[in-house]
Amino acid sequence: MADSYIHQDEAEIIGSATSSMRAIQIPCCLCGTMIHPNAANQCGSCLAQQFDLKTILQRGPGGSDLIIHQCRQCRRYERSENVKQFADYQLESPELLALCLKRIPALQPGSHKQSGASQIDGMMQNRNAVESIHLADAMWVWTEPNSMRLKIRLTVRANVIESPRTVTVQQRVLVEFRVAFKQCPDCNREYTNRTWQAIVQVRQKRATSDAPRKGLIMLEMALAKNAHIRRHIIRMQTTRNGFDFYFMSLPHAQMLSSFVARIVPMKIKTSKKLVSEDVKNNTANVKHTVTCDLVPLCRDDLVIADKAATKGGGGAGRLSGRLCLVTKVSSNVHFVDASPMRGGDVTDCFADLPPEKYWKAGAEKSYRVLLTSRALVRFIVLDVELCSGGNNQYHHQSSEEDHDLYAGPKSGVEKYALADVEVARESDFGHNDETFQCVTHLGNLLSVGDVVLGYDMVSSVLSSEAEWSVENAFNSSFVMPDIILVKKLTGSGGGGGETMDGGDTAENGDEKKPSRSKKSGTSKKRERRRMRGEKKAKELEETAARMGFFRGEKKGRELEEAAARMGFFDDADRMGEGAEEDDDGLMDEERAAFERELQNDPELAKELNEAEQELATRASEMKDESISEEEAKTNDSEEAGIDEEGGSNLSEKST
Amino acid sequence: MATRCAFENCHEIGVFSALTNSYCLTGIGGTENFYSIFESELSQHIPVVHATIAGCRFVGRTTVGNRRGILVPNTTSDIELQHLRNTLPDNVVVQRIEERLSALGNIVACNDHVALVHPDVDRETEDVIGDVLGVEVFRQTVGGQALVGSYCKFTNQGGMVHPRTTVEDIEELSSLLQVPLVAGTINRGSDVLGGGMVVNDWSAFVGLDTTSTEISVVESIFKLGSRQHHQQQQQSLGAAAMEGVQPIVQQFQPNQPSDIVTDMRSSLIDQLS
């Protein structure tokens, strides 16, 4: 006040008017500090006292605190009240900021602003009504990470009615959120003891209990890769021949079963069981069972395709009445002729069997497994001679021995070609001169000196059932071959655990069992039972872990207990000895084989990816990162695989 | 001394009252509270008159005057005019003028020597103002506001303009009016000064909303402090008006709140000792 006077006097005394138009300073009408005139003609602190936006902003819905919910276990934040979505946010991230801003009722459009006077603070002479709060800026204030408090500094602009004028006020307000724990639906699902409403039973019933169940292994890998499929599964159990998946509702179960149908050939059958019924309300509690039967044919199986299989126009077509080798199992079963004719075209040797044809009435009996991959024997290639019939024209072929080999999908050479090979058993090699001649489709993959796995029809002993089934199945034109070559082994011994001789099985089993001292009969039995029980539990854990079910230690024990409750360990007694140990070794090998197969076989990878992608487009919220990661991984592995194979080191090729 | 009052719960008392050195007009309210406030302060010295203009109570904004005369708009009825002539002192000329802008209180701001008028008033009106009120008339805006009567208020001692006026404008006006000017607010930050207060050379009445800061500004610029109270009273009650130009440079002491405290203390000491 005095300043303005003195200022006035000075100006007059000096007598020179300043050229620039300066605004006058007036005392704030409340506290007297000199300020520039504004709409309210009050200084900032007086304004802040008058219009307390902080109390208005800090109020939560229903007059309570501002609360953000977080799940205690998975540490995700709740996005919206009604829909119960929980999402993962970093502290001080923009998404979390947006979430917090949404939870301030005062900032939401259309929220009713009340007069300040009606509120709790009687001391505040707040006669003024605040209307239309706009948010100008918001930023984080650091809080301790575990303090359960989030602080945001808001810059808000509000129109305040100070009769008779409306003053626009901009204020920086600190707003504090309390973080409270709330269980998210996913964790809830894990913890509650709910009964399932739908179950998917996936089974592959192999003829002999020791036959490797490669179909199940492939299924396991596919489920392990794809976390999105697994999100509705409540519980999982393994049985002797497959898996059981428990769901809350039938659509979830059907989603999984349709996904699995794209990966392995199978037949799906849905049935239901009435648990309880309410006649008055016309409702019923029903449990659904989706039974998925996998085609029992696995890769590298030797299959008899009965000549009666052509009945009905389906089935193996050209290959009926002959011995077939299963090359690949994806959504269809791919056969190749086990003893192709020399002069034929290599493409004539292949056939596909869709699962519907297999499961048609009576058709199952037409495809019988003669030998499984356990019976593979090692051979050494002595001579390879391509059959130059059909389309196998090579422009540059200096000598018959130096033909180009198949080196990956883009090598420009056909993968399969018919060839005459002379082989000798590895066990015979160097001891005697017994060699065999055979025609095989692996012409473009073999070179002299390779180790090949194949079925030795000459010296194999088939079960009586198998012998009998051979009787009437074949065409008259079919000649039983001596040797059937199945696949080539990697040169540098990459397939370390691949000695699948029938003879070695017993040794492996003995090594894996811990050595024990001699005991009496009953205690030995008890010991054995205990060992088997442990092994079973371990296998169960591993299976579940592989499929990505485990998220902590707790789960394993829970599953174990559940399995024990279900009488799972009783099964162990009934199982054959050799099966368990070999399964362990088998799974490792098969997993590696599966990976390699994915690398080499773009079709299979593509089918898997397509199945996954379909699911991605079907589900509304898809974790795109996981899918693209998988794709990228698969693509990368494909690229890597191809680059590898550019060199001389040829990886094992499956036929 | 500045007194707070309200007219029927409205803080814009400058609308309902007009105050000069020789008389005071008040509008007719439902109760006589408003009138009695003025009466208690002023009636010993000057007549306080109930009046209406054209039947309306907002006499502060429709009339303008100083100690020599009063101008009323053409809407004033004859009875009202007669009433004014009867009640006001004889040396006060009551003149009804024909002017398109009839809210004379808004368009003219004057003291006993100088008047500022709205730039759009007629030539005749300007002459009449100069004649009746005996003032020098300037057509001016105040800091961009044409309604000079609303946004600026000045007496023979000092004046106040609305807070948006620039420094240069204030200097210019001050030199024009020959009184010190200050920018200030009334009624808790309102910049409509003419409606918020009425003031003459020794007393001022402000709206009930006026904060103490604003009152201290008013008292200092209009020289209403208790120390100078008696001097001014005698000065203005004296028949001889102070014609002539007041010196530009005022060597006055601004009326700080601390001055009031000193006065009180000294008077208490006087009383008790």
Instruction: Round the average pLDDT of chain A to a whole number and report it.
Output: 72
Of B166, B213, B216, the CB nearest to A24: B166
Which structure tokens are listed for A281?
A: 């309300």
State mean pLDDT over A545-573: 55
Which pLDDT belongs to residue B193? Answer: 93
The per-type count for chain B, helices as H runs and strands as E runs, is: 11, 15
Instruction: Report whether pLDDT(A573) > 50.
Output: no
pLDDT value of position A33: 82
Full-model pTM: 0.47
- CA-nearest of A202, A269, A289 to A241 is A202
Which residues of chain A lie closer than 8 angstroms to B180, CB-CB? 5, 8
Q: Measure the CA–CA gap between A112 and A105, rounded to whole angstroms.
A: 9
Phi, psi (deg, nearest 5) at residue B107: -100, -10
List the pLDDT tens digit at each of the 273 positions of chain B.
789 999 998 999 999 999 999 999 999 888 888 999 999 999 899 999 999 999 999 999 999 999 999 999 999 999 999 999 999 999 999 999 999 999 999 999 999 999 999 999 999 999 999 999 999 999 989 988 999 999 999 999 999 999 989 899 999 999 999 999 999 999 988 889 999 999 999 999 999 989 888 999 999 999 987 644 445 444 544 433 344 333 333 333 444 455 555 556 666 676 666
The partner residue sitting opposite A8, judged by closest CB among B180, B191, B216, is B180
CB–CB of B189 and A21 under 8 A? no
- CA-nearest of A186, A216, A200, A195 to A78 is A186
Residue of A nearest to B169 (CA): A21
A-chain CB neighbours of B165 within 8 Å are 24
Report residue A200: phi and psi, to 5°.
Answer: -115, 120
Closest CA–CA distance from residue B217 to any residue of chain A (Å) = 7
Question: Phi and psi dihedrals of A314, rounded to 5?
Answer: -120, -160
**In angstroms, what separates the C-alpha of A15 from chain B's closest C-alpha?**
10
Give the tokens for residue A554.
């707790």
**Which residues of chain A are at the B interface, by a Cβ-Cβ cutoff of 8 Å?**
1-2, 4-5, 7-9, 11-13, 17-18, 21-24, 26-32, 37, 40-42, 162, 165
CB–CB contact B213 A12 (8 Å): no
Distance from CA of A26 to the nearest CA of B (A): 6
Counting one residue from chain A and one from chain B, the pairs whose CB atoms sit within 8 A come to: 88
Query: A5 and B217 in contact by Cβ < 8 A?
Result: no
Parallel, antiparallel, or unpaired for β A266-278 and A283-294? antiparallel
Q: A31 vs B185: CB contact, 8 Å cut-off?
A: no
Higher-confidence position of A572 and B75: B75
State the nearest Cα–Cα gap between B244 and chain A, in angstroms: 19
Tell me, what's the ipTM? 0.71
What backbone torsions phi and psi does residue B96 show, to the nearest 5 degrees? -95, 130
Out of A2, A9, A29, the one facing B188 most closely (by C-beta) is: A29
Tell me the C-alpha distance between A76 and A91, whole Å: 11
Interface test with B, best of A6, A8, A31, A51 (most B CBs within 10 A): A8
- In the prediction, which pLDDT does A594 show? 66
Residue pair A538/A531 in contact (Cβ under 8 Å)? The answer is no
B181 and A7: CB-CB below 8 Å?
no
Residue in chain A nearest B219 by alpha carbon:
A1
Question: For chain B, what is the domain count?
Answer: 1
Nearest to B170 among A2, A24, A165 (CB): A24
With beta carbons under 8 A apart, name residues in chain B contacting A165.
Answer: 190
Contact predicate A8/B171, CB 8 Å: yes
Cβ A24–B254 below 8 Å, yes or no?
A: no
In chain B, % helix, strand, coil (3-state, to 5) comes to: 35, 20, 40
Cα A449 → chain centroid: 40
How far CA A597 is from CA of A326, A651, B91, in Å, comes to 14, 10, 120
CB-CB under 8 Å, B185 with A8: no
Q: Check residues B131 and A369 and name the one with the higher pLDDT.
A: B131
Q: B151 near B145, Cβ under 8 Å? A: yes
Contact A17 B172 (CB under 8 A): yes
Split at pLDDT 50, 70, 90, the class of A280 is very high
Residue among B165, B170, B220 minimizing CB distance to A1: B220
Chain B contact residues (CB < 8 Å to A): 163-168, 170-172, 174-175, 180-185, 188-191, 211, 213-214, 216-217, 220, 248-250, 254, 256
Q: Do B189 and A1 touch (CB under 8 A)?
A: no
A338 with A328: CB under 8 angstroms? no
pLDDT(A396) > 60: no
Cβ neighbour number for residue A517 with a 10 Å cutoff: 4
Task: Give the whole-angstrom CA distance, residue A490 versus residue A548.
Answer: 31
Beta strands in chain B (DSSP E): 2-5, 17-19, 24-26, 48-50, 64-65, 69-72, 93-96, 108-110, 114-117, 136-139, 152-154, 159-161, 181-183, 197-199, 204-207
Using CA atoms, how far apart are residues A31 and A9, in angstroms rounded to an integer?
24
What is the average pLDDT across A80-100? 87
What is the Cα B31 distance to its own chain's centre?
A: 24
Cβ burial, residue B201 (10 Å; 0-12/13-18/19+): buried
A292 vs A638: CA distance, rounded Å: 31
B152 φ/ψ angles, rounded to the nearest 5 degrees? -150, 145
- The closest of A574, A493, A476 to A528, measured between CA atoms, is A574
Q: Which residues of B touch A31 (CB under 8 A)?
A: 213
Out of B163, B167, B250, whose CB is closest to A22? B167
Say how far apart CA B12 and CA B21 lie, in whole Å.
Answer: 21
**pLDDT per residue as tens digits for the range A421-439:** 888 888 877 788 888 888 8
Instruction: Enumerate the residues of chain A whose CB falls inside 8 A of the CB of residue B181.
Output: 8
Complete DSSP assignment for A329-358: ESSSEEEEESS--TTS-GGGGEEEE-HHHH
Question: In chain A, whose CA is at the least distance from the CA of B218?
Answer: A1
Q: Looking at the partner chain, which of B172, B217, B249 has a beta carbon nearest the beta carbon of A27? A: B217
Q: Is the pLDDT of residue A525 over 90?
A: no
Integer Cα distance of B112 and B136 in angstroms: 9
Query: Between A7, A9, A165, which is nearest B249 by CB?
Result: A9
Neighbours of A105 (CB within 10 A): 16
Q: Are the Cβ atoms of B182 and A162 closer than 8 angstroms?
A: no
Residue A334 confidence (pLDDT): 85
* pLDDT score, position A178: 93
A19: closest chain B residue by CA? B168
* A158 Cα to chain B: minimum distance (Å): 19
Q: For residue B256, what is the nearest residue in chain A, using CA coordinates?
A: A2
User: Count of residues for chain A?
Assistant: 655
Burial bucket for residue A359 (CB in 10 Å: 0-12, 13-18, 19+): middle
Lowest mean pLDDT of A88-102, A146-160, A368-382, B252-266, name the range: B252-266
Mean per-residue pLDDT for A330-342? 82
A32 contact residues in B (CB cutoff 8 A): 213, 216
Does residue A116 surpass a pLDDT of 60?
no
Query: Using omega within 30 degrees of 0 as the cis cutoff, is the peptide bond preceding A27 cis?
Result: no
Nearest to B184 among A13, A18, A26 (CB): A26
Domain that holds residue B87: 2-272
Gap between the Cα atoms of B178 and B157, Å rounded: 9
What average pLDDT score do residues A563-583 get?
47
| Gap from B90 CA to chain A (nearest CA, Å) | 38
- Bridge partners of A179? A68
Torsional sign, CA A57, A60, A66, A70: negative
Q: Specify the pLDDT at position B175.
A: 93
